[in-house]
Amino acid sequence: GEKLVLALNNLTGRTMVLNRPKALNSLTLPMVQTIKRYLEDWEKSDLCDVVMLRSNSRKAFCAGGDVVQVSRDWRDGNKAQAMEFFRTEYKVNHHIATYKKPIVAMLDGFTMGGGVGLSVHAPFRVASENAVFAMPETKIGFFPDVGATFFLPRLDGELGVYLGLTGQKLKGRDLLYAGIATHYVPSERHALLEQRLQGLGTSDYTAINLAIEEFVAQPENSQSEDFVGVVNDVPIDFSLASVRDVIDICFKFNTIEAIMQALTEVANQPGPASEWAQKTYDQMNQMSPSSLKLTLEQLRRGAQLDIQKAFELELVLAERRLESHDMHEGIDALLVRKTNDAAWDPENINAVDIRELYSQYFEGDHETTPLYLGSTPFTEYPHKFGLPTEQEILDVVSGESPQAGGFGMTYELVMEFFMREYESKMGVEQKVNWVLSRRTELGDAGGTLRVIKS
């Protein structure tokens, strides 16, 4: 059959092209094995400076793993084959995270589940206006895997927990402001960018970053018709801008019950966030109750785990989940019958015994064969080419950032610091401005800012 993963060699660039457009590039075991082989070969090759990942279709970068096949294998008794899919996939995800050369993932179209695993751990993640991100696993009775244990808790505030529990979609520039993408480049420029990187002749990360920056689009101004987020008159083109603080208020809890209660309270208060809270509550009510509880615990633990332990935990959880009723029922309802009427068991949040869930998924000896990932594990990604995080911005204001000098900085000084530090990177001004407008107020002394206690 037609090759489902193509390899293109041009000068010192190597491009892997996902080529299963009819299935939105959903990943099969042979595809993942091919990706693994290319990555290994190119890392060793002296002729390769930079690796790019993209799709041959604007509709999807990769809409996930082929879980229908995995579920079928498991139910047909081919349990080793089903687990081999996850084991190989997680090895590939981990290899991307620890790769010895720059990897640039070009996100055009759907980037969900397994597609997130192929991109989010790379140092350079270039989103277009067509990019649609989601981790919708709780809807099929699974949990956000492919390293989500590591990357979701490291997004701003409770954003990752919200995205992991609800499967909420983000589009286009959202990916940049949420920290999922490092750059925003319109789709029509991707081919030129690929050519530019192929001819760069270096594997220097700074040089690659600067080359990508040549292609980025200007941020939207508040005049554009699809512009949504103006908070305190601060324009930022981020679909979650107006509910960003409410996300932290509702999703900071350690039980699903408390999160649902918080959403109910916001939904019942008049205000702009009430509609969002009701919609979010309804979204979560469609998910597998046991998946929700499992995911919340997984992400809370993931905040403390190094990257290797995160993938090892996921392998254990994947096997345990394949033994569950909900995973097969969820896949069947959403992807096979396409009726979206899964009969979850237990059927609601209250019926999921959390102590039983802990002992089933997180305690005791697990038989799963270890992953043998090699390379030194880290607790933070080694490369930072995206926008500053909210915490990094607030640390500068509070004087806790070693780079920024003393305490007592004015709005202008903070802005100047970030524009200098990030070399006027597109999106920095918008994000810093937005975070300062939400999270700081004028202090007592001559225009200096202080962080508002949340």
Catalytic residue annotation: 65, 114, 137, 145
Q: What does the alpha-carbon distance between residue 378 and residue 265 come to, in Å, rounded to a whole number?
A: 39
∠ CA(387), CA(225), CA(175), 5° rounding? 25
Partners of residue 449 on adjacent β-strands? 442
Q: What is the largest CA-CA distance in the chain?
A: 71
SS3 340: coil
Phi, psi of 264 (to 5 degrees): -60, -45
Element (H or E) spanning 83, and its range?
A: helix 79-97
Distances (CA, A) of 208 to 42, 50, 51: 17, 9, 11
Residue 265, sorted as left (phi over 0), alpha (psi -120 to 50) or beta, turns out to be: alpha
Residues in contact with 41: Cβ distance below 8 Å, sequence separation at least 6, in sequence order? none
Cα atoms found within 13 Å of the Cα of residue 174, Cβ hemisphere only: 22
> Cis ω on the peptide bond leading into residue 272 (within 30° of 0)?
no
Look at residues 10, 200, 16 and name the one whose alpha carbon lies nearest to residue 103. 16
Burial class (CB in 10 A: 0-12, 13-18, 19+), 358: middle
∠ CA(33), CA(372), CA(40), 5° rounding? 40
Look at residues 109, 162, 156 and name the one whose alpha carbon lies nearest to residue 135. 162
Q: What does the alpha-carbon distance between residue 428 and residue 443 come to, in Å, rounded to a whole number?
A: 23
Residues in contact with 33: Cβ distance below 8 Å, sequence separation at least 6, in sequence order? 88
Partners of residue 9 on adjacent β-strands? 14
Q: What does the alpha-carbon distance between residue 243 and residue 409 come to, in Å, rounded to a whole number?
A: 27
Element (H or E) spanning 6, and its range?
A: strand 5-10
